[in-house]
Amino acid sequence: MRILLLHPNYHSGGAEIAGNWPPAWVAYLAGALKKAGYPDLRFVDAMTNDLSEDQIRAILREEKPDVIGCTAITPSIYKAERLLEIAKEEHPDAVTVLGGIHATFMYNQVLGEAPWIDAIVRGEGEEIIVNLVKAIDEKRWPECRKEIRGIAYRDGSDVIATVAAPTVKDLDGINPDWSVLEWEKYIYIPMGKRVAIPNMARGCPFTCSFCSQWKFWRDYRIRDPKKVVDEIETLMREHDVGFFILADEEPTINKKKFVAFCEELIRRDLKILWGINTRVTDILRDEALLPLYRKAGLIHVSLGTEAAAQLQLDRFNKETTVAQNKKAIELLRNAGIVVEAQFIVGLENETRETLEETYRMAQDWKPDLANWSMFTPWPFSDLFRDLGDKVEVFDYDKYNFVTPIMKPDAMDRAELLDRVMHNYRRFYMKKALFSYPWAGSGERRRYLLGCLKAFLKSGFERKFYDLGRVNYWGKKDTVDFAFDRTRQRADMSKVEWQTTHNRKSNKQVGQEAAEAMACGGGKEQMEDAMQ
């Protein structure tokens, strides 16, 4: 059984300005597949290697895969669909599989526009992909595909979604295979070192209206802190990783486990720097522990401050106040930790004045870094539904946090971009001249100068905020976002996740139970049929 996994070649000028990020998804799937007895696996990172379609086609011709898998977040969905279309052209008999958060929720639309995709993995992929590959290997595909939990597929003109698979309960039982990655290519520019993105927990108990991570992971689960440090030590020893960022939405939720994680890093004296994204309220809660976190190597905290106005914070369900944002930033800065303030801008009520307010607030709060992200209404988020017809762009290629998807009532999109760039220019010019060169000594100062280097590099290369592709040269008159207006809104009534069975007749129950037995179904399949 030959398996080929692909990462789509998508670029936006967002987070990637800090370097090339290792696609952790492939390590987790590769580990699960190899553990299940499927070691014949190859990974191709088209994004990091910036591979063209012709180069991808040439690689596919060299391979003889039985299964071709790809992943996609919302902005990379079209690239992923195209990759699997090329794969199907080169290997018509291979089974093409797509996973990731966008396909999990939008499988009806994806399978409608990309019928060459044989199966969509919905949700966490480790257990589902193993069951799917086993069915293919045992010649039970496609006849018995309805018995595989957590997938969606086309059956003629119909789209079928099987019952949702349970979440992975034993996270410590997952052993990612990091060796499939080309580690020399994943460099974090501010540090000039290889970077990893390990996972400490999955899920989030908070329900921010603009986010969907809490929907995707469903329930919150956390690993043994010692196991996480084991993984980091392995990444350092075997792959020369010199910096890591925890992939969790909020790794500090479980205070006891996060403290244990920091204490284990200190005990082993690994001397590695790292960063996290977390909530303001956790920093306020842990004020006395911040020196411990810094001693453990925590150098960068990105705070979801989100807005400068309380009205917007309440709209996002952030459960924080403007005063708390300022206090948390002060605490982190005093602890010697680089702090980044995140602002979400570009909703329909945005104005020149509100954008100016975020800049003044950034000056008042005094974060080391500030990031103005364009509001991106994930099509499966609560806020997207609430916005209704106010969302008029459905070209998901531009749903990347740097392109203005929403049009503010009081300004056009080009002016919105121009005002955001005005904030960036002023903020980082002041930091470059009056802050970073005198930001103390040692690791914190070197880190900030490295961040400045990353910003300057992306600016000169015209990659920051996708400025080159939208033709922004400091004036709004030249901007062209090139939206594909042929893309239409998905039928939101078909955006489902935790699938439940409709009531079945006795005849249907008997028929489906018989099919489960014929396909070698076990207890789980029989239970599904009997529901």
pLDDT in tens, 141-158: 999 999 999 999 999 999
Say what the pLDDT of residue 518 is: 53
Which SS3 state, helix, strand or coil, does residue 159 take? strand
End-to-end CA distance of the chain: 34
Residue that wins the pLDDT comparison between 506 and 46: 46
Whole-angstrom distance, CA of residue 54 vs CA of residue 64? 17
> Out of 336-340, 441-445, 453-457, which region has the weakest mean confidence (pLDDT)?
441-445
Query: How sure is the predictor about 216, in pLDDT bands with cuts at 50, 70 and 90?
Result: confident
**CA–CA gap between residue 400 and residue 2 (Å, rounded):** 33
Task: Give the type of residue at 250.
Answer: E
What the block records as the tokens of 500 is: 């439940």
- CA separation, residue 214 to residues 312, 437, 496 (Å): 20, 40, 14
Distances (CA, A) of 43 to 118, 124, 438: 19, 19, 44
* pLDDT average, residue stretch 426-444: 90
Tell me the H-state helices in 4-144: 24-35, 53-62, 77-90, 101-105, 107-113, 125-137
Tokens 């020149």 belong to residue:
352
Q: What are phi and psi of 75, to 5 degrees?
A: -70, -15
Cite the beta strand spans of 190-322 per DSSP E.
Answer: 193-196, 201-202, 221-222, 241-245, 273-278, 298-306
Q: Is-contact 379 74, C-beta < 8 A? A: yes
What would the mean pLDDT of 378-382 be, rounded to a whole number?
Answer: 84
Residue 516 has pLDDT above 60, yes or no: no
* Euclidean distance between CA atoms 494 and 490, whole angstroms: 8
> Please, are residues 523 and 433 in contact by the beta-carbon 8 Å criterion?
no
Distance (Å, whole) CA 106 – CA 151 = 12
- Please tell me the predicted confidence (pLDDT) of residue 508: 46
Q: Which CATH number fits domain 3-161: 3.40.50.1000, 3.40.50.2300, 3.30.2130.10, 3.20.20.70?
A: 3.40.50.2300
Confidence class of residue 505 from pLDDT cuts 50, 70 and 90? Answer: very low
Which pLDDT score, from 0 to 100, does residue 519 have?
65
Return the percentage of the chain with pLDDT > 90, whole number.
Answer: 74
Q: What is the DSSP letter of 494?
A: G
Across the strands, what pairs with 119? Answer: 97
DSSP 119: E
Amino acid at 10: Y
> Which residues, 6+ apart, have CB-to-CB distance to 47 below 8 Å?
7, 8, 9, 10, 11, 23
Cβ(282)–Cβ(233) under 8 Å? no
Region 441-469: mean pLDDT is 91
Least confident span in 88-97, 388-397, 493-502: 493-502
Q: Are 3 and 38 spatial neighbours (Cβ–Cβ below 8 Å)?
A: yes
- The radius of gyration computed from the CA coordinates of the chain, to the nearest angstrom, equals 24
Is residue 196 exposed (0-12), middle (13-18) or buried (19+ Cβ within 10 Å)?
buried
Amino acid at 295: K
pLDDT at 525 over 60: no
Average pLDDT score over residue span 449-466: 91
- For the ranges 49-63, 147-161, 458-472, 504-518, the lowest mean pLDDT is seen at 504-518
Residue 237 pLDDT class (50, 70, 90 cuts): very high
Residue-level pLDDT at 309: 47
pLDDT for res 498: 46
DSSP structure class, residue 527: H
**Is 484 within 8 Å of 397 (Cβ atoms)?**
yes
Pick from 275-284, 381-390, 419-428, 464-473: least confident: 381-390
Q: What topology is assigned to 186-470 in CATH?
A: pyruvate-formate lyase- activating enzyme (3.80.30)
Q: 158: which 2 tokens?
A: 């119909």
8 Å CB contact between 133 and 3: yes
Confidence of residue 210 (pLDDT cuts 50, 70, 90): low
Q: What percent of the chain has pLDDT over 70?
A: 88
Question: Cβ–Cβ contacts within 10 Å for residue 211, how many?
Answer: 19
CA angle (432 as vertex; 431, 433 as ends), nearest 5: 95
Mean pLDDT of 312-332: 75
pLDDT for the residue 196 = 98
Strands 187-188 and 193-196: antiparallel
Q: How many angstroms separate the CA atoms of 251 and 282, rounded? A: 10
CA 218 to chain CA centroid, Å, is 15
* Structure confidence at residue 438 (pLDDT): 85
Q: How far apart are CA 383 and CA 393, in angstroms?
A: 15
Q: Mean pLDDT, to the nearest integer, of 208-229?
A: 82
Tokens 């209704």 identify what position?
388
Backbone angles phi, psi at 158, to 5 degrees: -95, 150
Please state, rounded to an integer, the average pLDDT across all residues of the chain.
Answer: 89
Does the pLDDT at position 62 exceed 70? Answer: yes
Tokens of 336: 């010697």
The predicted pLDDT at position 493 comes to 62
Q: pLDDT class for 529, splitting at 50, 70, 90? A: very low
User: Would you state the pLDDT for residue 531?
Assistant: 41
Query: Does residue 357 sit in helix, strand or coil?
Result: helix
pLDDT in tens, 65-92: 999 999 999 999 999 999 999 999 999 9
Question: Using N-to-C axis directions, what is the helix angle for 24-35 and 125-137, rounded to 10°?
Answer: 50
**Backbone phi and psi for residue 297, each to the nearest 5 degrees, phi listed first:** 110, 0
Is pLDDT of 517 > 50?
no
Say if residue 122's pLDDT is above 80.
yes
Q: Is the pLDDT of residue 407 over 90?
A: yes
Are β-strands 338-345 and 95-99 bridged in parallel, bridged antiparallel, or unpaired?
Answer: unpaired
Domains in the chain: boundaries: 3-161, 186-470
DSSP letter assigned to residue 278:
E
* pLDDT reported for residue 527: 42
Kindly write down the DSSP assignment for every residue of 303-323, as one continuous string.
Answer: EEEE-SSHHHHHHTT----HH
- Rounded mean pLDDT, 127-142: 97
Q: pLDDT, tens digit, for every residue of 20-48?
A: 999 999 999 999 999 999 999 999 999 99
Beta bridge partners of 42: 4
Least confident span in 400-409, 420-429, 509-518: 509-518
Return the pLDDT at 503.
Answer: 34
Q: Name the strand (E) or helix (H) holding 371.
A: strand 369-374
Q: Strand pairing of 158-161 and 151-155?
A: antiparallel
Distance from C-alpha of 293 to C-alpha of 378, rounded to nearest angstrom: 33
Structure confidence at residue 340 (pLDDT): 96
Beta bridge partners, 452, equal none
Place of tokens 């030590």: 233
pLDDT at 173 over 50: yes
